[in-house]
Structure 1
Amino acid sequence: MKIRLELLTYGYALMNVKQLRLFHEVLSTGKMSRAAERLNFSQPAASKMLGNLEEKVGYRLFFRQNGQLNPTPEALYLHEEVVTILRSLKRLEDSFERAKYGQLGRLNIASILGPSYSFVPEVFNQYAKDSSDLKLNLQVHNSRTIRDAVASGQFELGLVDKTAPSSSYNSVVFDLPCFCALHRDHPAARNEVLSPSLLDGEIWITLDPEHTSYQSLSNHFLTEGAIFNPRIEVNATLHSLPFVRQKRGIAMVDVVNLQHFKEVYPLDEIVFRPFTPTIREPMELISINSRPLSKPAAEMKSLLIDRLTGLCKDYDALIQRATGQA
């Protein structure tokens, strides 16, 4: 007669995990005393547990011969399935443990273009380390799409351009200091700090006129009576740098993009100088608030906050030293 142990239906009602482990150890060692020792049971308790198991299934699983507990044919048949179940339980226990430390699951993050190049991957690498079971879904979209996706729960975290506050998600704002990117042969590159008066009438490569950096530059030039001359418009900061390299103009670069450029695409032709008054690029880290963050998302959020805060602090200190404010 074919006997089958079904874990999710018949099996769990019939026996508990301790009994399954005891069954496996007795069959493996042939000794009740050895099985009890391995499972940290007393021998009387183990004997009683095995007796209860045999009573539940309705037939003997072991018989004693020459001081040894030998398995019946039914026990030999069932052992393979019991081992499969115990291995599955071990994997489940390990998964619970990894989830406890944020090493299991799927991390869904959306980002505007700049931080997606190396900033988010570097922070993720710092968090994930050697965890091969943590999956990352990093998608690049515009700010409006990301806000809608985080609000709806499609993504847990998002990096976006700053806009009006919203109750649809949680938000942390960072004012990223910006630097001028210009060709090393440009006459203004001889200066340690640049200003509207030093760049009067120079050609600029900018983001669209609605962007914060564009409006700040325009206002500072206007205040100092200098000519602001935007000639080339791009939709991402890093796209401005090839034009700078070709001596087509000057660009304003926030520190997230600046860090990426210096680490990944260092070009001797381009130099970066502080600009006064300081131009800042506000960026938001938004997170879902309709449900608790997963452990990986919560810890990744904390790391992103620390990294962005530290980046702003380091470059603000550099600007202060360059402008004599330190």
Structure 2
Amino acid sequence: MTPRQVEVFRAIMRSGSVTGAAGHLNLSQPAVSKHLSLLERELGFVLFERARNRLVPTLEADALFEQVEALYGGIEELDRFAQALRHNNHGDVTVATLPLLSHRWMPSVLGAFAAHHRDISLSVPVRSTSWIARAVSAGRADMGVGLHSAAQRGVDQRVLMRLPLVAVSVPDHPLAGSGPVHPSALRPYDVVTLSNFEGAPLALARDLSGNLGRRRLEAFTVEFACEFARAGVGLAIVDALTAMHFAADGLVASPLQVEAEFALAIMRPTRRRSSQLASVIEAHLMEEAGATEAAVGRFMAAISGTP
């Protein structure tokens, strides 16, 4: 039994005649009849009864056709699967992210992508930058977004976006809305600072050194820091993107005059080829990050009092 013979048999069953099968397959009628005859000879039984110039399927033909249709259904499903892969509509992808983006930005960006790619599966672990780098390098994550650092090994880094730092507080705080804040202006006030989960000091610590009060107020996520500020505990030092989100909740942001910033980077494995779908997601993240940086720029101009 050859694929061509099976194709001819299927065409006859679906069209009901040799003529119809010949037209469907772009073959001559004698060629169709020959393939059918060879198939019946190889099978050892008759597939059609000839009655009044019509082909009437036998019980064996009906049973065989059911199996043939199941076979073609599988092939068509395989073809759809291959098309989905080609158009990046199928696959499993793990995108690890640091807590900074896990509250709103990453769920919004990846959520929009997943909504338009219904056949993909996404996993988004939220971890520290060092964990993300190790996971990407070891193949436990297809890509990750963390703080850019030259110390990360086994990953290639591409800057996703840079976020300036601001001081947020309740509207009645003495520094609220006062324009750019120099670190020395923080000394009389309680300040909520950020740490990370690895014990390594952030670059911000250098800029704030000697300008913080004796009271230690430390948060491990920017959302927690902002909630501290909203409770009236003190000023919180966070990134401008987070400050934008919390501005709607009544917090006031002021630019912080420091060199430190949050430089976020996409991490991909150095020694392993990533899937095409992962590359498409990376391009989507980069596009959304560009729009976000533009929005952050407008926000910073507004709170700085510059046109």
1:193 aligns with 2:180: yes
Match of 1:114?
100
CA deviations 1:207-251 (Å, max 9, x no partner) are 2384435325415xx5xxxx3236211111111111111110111
Deviation at 1:105, TM superposition (A): 0.8
Equivalenced residue count is 302
Measure the CA separation in 1 of the matches of 2:286 and 2:168: 26
Deviation at 1:323, TM superposition (A): 4.1
CA shift in 2, pair 1:101/1:310, >3 Å: same
CA shift in 2, pair 1:257/1:39, >3 Å: farther
Match of 2:264?
283
1:228 aligns with 2:212: yes
CA contact (8 A) 2:241 2:296 kept: no
RMSD of aligned alpha carbons: 2.6
Measure the CA separation in 2 of the matches of 1:124 and 1:86: 35
Measure the CA separation in 2 of the matches of 1:112 and 1:91: 38
Deviation at 1:92, TM superposition (A): 0.8
CA deviations 1:119-148 (Å, max 9, x no partner) are 222222332334321111111222222211
Which aligned pairs between 1:80-119 and structure 2 lie closer than 5 A? 80-119=66-105
1:138 aligns with 2:124: yes
CA shift in 2, pair 1:39/1:202, >3 Å: farther
SS of residue in 2 equivalent to 1:106: strand
CA deviations 1:79-132 (Å, max 9, x no partner) are 211111111111111000011111001011111122223322222233233432
Measure the CA separation in 2 of the matches of 1:156 and 1:271: 38
Deviation at 1:292, TM superposition (A): 2.0
Structure 1 consecutive aligned stretches of length 4 or more whose deviation exceeds 6 Å: none
CA contact (8 A) 1:62 1:75 kept: yes
Measure the CA separation in 2 of the matches of 1:138 and 1:66: 66
SS of residue in 2 equivalent to 1:188: coil
CA contact (8 A) 2:225 2:236 kept: yes
CA contact (8 A) 2:9 2:36 kept: yes
Normalised TM-score (structure 2): 0.86
CA contact (8 A) 1:151 1:168 kept: yes
CA contact (8 A) 2:177 2:253 kept: no
CA contact (8 A) 2:169 2:252 kept: yes
Match of 2:293?
312
CA shift in 2, pair 1:192/1:56, >3 Å: farther
Match of 1:153?
139
1:15 aligns with 2:5: no
CA contact (8 A) 1:177 1:316 kept: no
Normalised TM-score (structure 1): 0.82
Structure 2: gaps (5+ residues): none
Measure the CA separation in 1 of the matches of 2:100 and 2:25: 55
CA contact (8 A) 2:97 2:146 kept: yes
